[in-house]
Chain A
Amino acid sequence: EPEVTQTPSHQVTQMGQEVILRCVPISNHLYFYWYRQILGQKVEFLVSFYNNEISEKSEIFDDQFSVERPDGSNFTLKIRSTKLEDSAMYFCASRDNYEQYFGPGTRLTVT
């Protein structure tokens, strides 16, 4: 069964550093999403992406964040200058119809 994959599974970085989280959506899906979940809190929407551009973003997705689809398979989330409060699990998702399929997540720890 096709699945969304994410790398790395765990990333540790120092405050102020740039990180890139990678996702490979399901191959025939056209809509891509990033969500985050701070430990013990609810899942929060960050951004949606379609046809090589952002279609919607939340208040969390400020100028420190960017997304890119550099080739036909990868979908990346970049955080330019990480803060302690960026520590969270980041989930990528993709959909073709109504159901969003989530990847296993990248746990980002900012020290």
Chain B
Amino acid sequence: GQNIDQPTEMTATEGAIVQINCTYQTSGFNGLFWYQQHAGEAPTFLSYNVLDGLEEKGRFSSFLSRSKGYSYLLLKELQMKDSASYLCVISNSGYALNFGKGTSLLVTP
């Protein structure tokens, strides 16, 4: 089975940096994704980590430690449009995605 834990809610200020943590336990692992989801919309891909380390993509970075079952998503230079739910997602051996409950991020002026 799988268990994915991430904070339910976070608040940050426009222009700031925020780190969203995720811990997981899984029996099969084929990578960890971060997706963004605005209310009423589909999830959209942000990042993919399959090896340990940091992946950087513009304002977004994602880190993975497989031995610790830990990942984080780092968002820099926050903008109001970054207010959304951020989903930590584990891909199992068959590439089916198992989603966490998501972290609702509110960016304030």
Q: Are A48 and B102 in contact (CB under 8 A)?
A: no
Residue total for B at the interface (Cβ-Cβ under 8 A): 20
**In the complex, A98 Cα to B31 Cα: how many Å?**
9
Cβ-Cβ contact count across A and B, 8 Å cutoff? 50
Q: Are B96 and A42 in contact (CB under 8 A)?
A: no
Give the contacts of A80-101 with B (CB-CB under 8 A).
91, 93, 95, 98-101
Residues in A lying within 8 Å of B, measured CB to CB = 31, 33, 35, 41-45, 48, 55-56, 58, 91, 93, 95, 98-105
CB-CB under 8 A from B101, the residues of chain A are 41-42
- Decide yes or no whether B106 CB sits under 8 A from chain A: no
Given contacts A98-B31, A98-B91, contact A45 B45 (CB under 8 A): no
- Decide yes or no whether B43 CB sits under 8 A from chain A: yes
Residues in B lying within 8 Å of A, measured CB to CB = 31, 37, 41-45, 48, 50, 87, 91, 94-102
Given contacts A43-B87, A95-B95, contact A104 B43 (CB under 8 A): no
Q: Given contacts A43-B37, A44-B99, A100-B95, list 8 more A-B pairs with CB under 8 A.
A: A45-B98, A45-B99, A93-B97, A98-B31, A98-B48, A101-B45, A102-B43, A104-B41
**In the complex, A44 Cα to B97 Cα: how many Å?**
8
Q: Are B45 and A42 in contact (CB under 8 A)?
A: no
* Closest CB in chain B relative to A2 CB, distance in Å: 14
Given contacts A33-B96, A43-B87, A43-B99, contact A99 B42 (CB under 8 A): no
CB-CB under 8 A from B37, the residues of chain A are 43
* Closest CB in chain A relative to B64 CB, distance in Å: 14
**In the complex, A55 Cα to B102 Cα: how many Å?**
26
CB-CB under 8 A from B50, the residues of chain A are 98
**In the complex, A56 Cα to B93 Cα: how many Å?**
10
Q: Are B43 and A91 in contact (CB under 8 A)?
A: yes
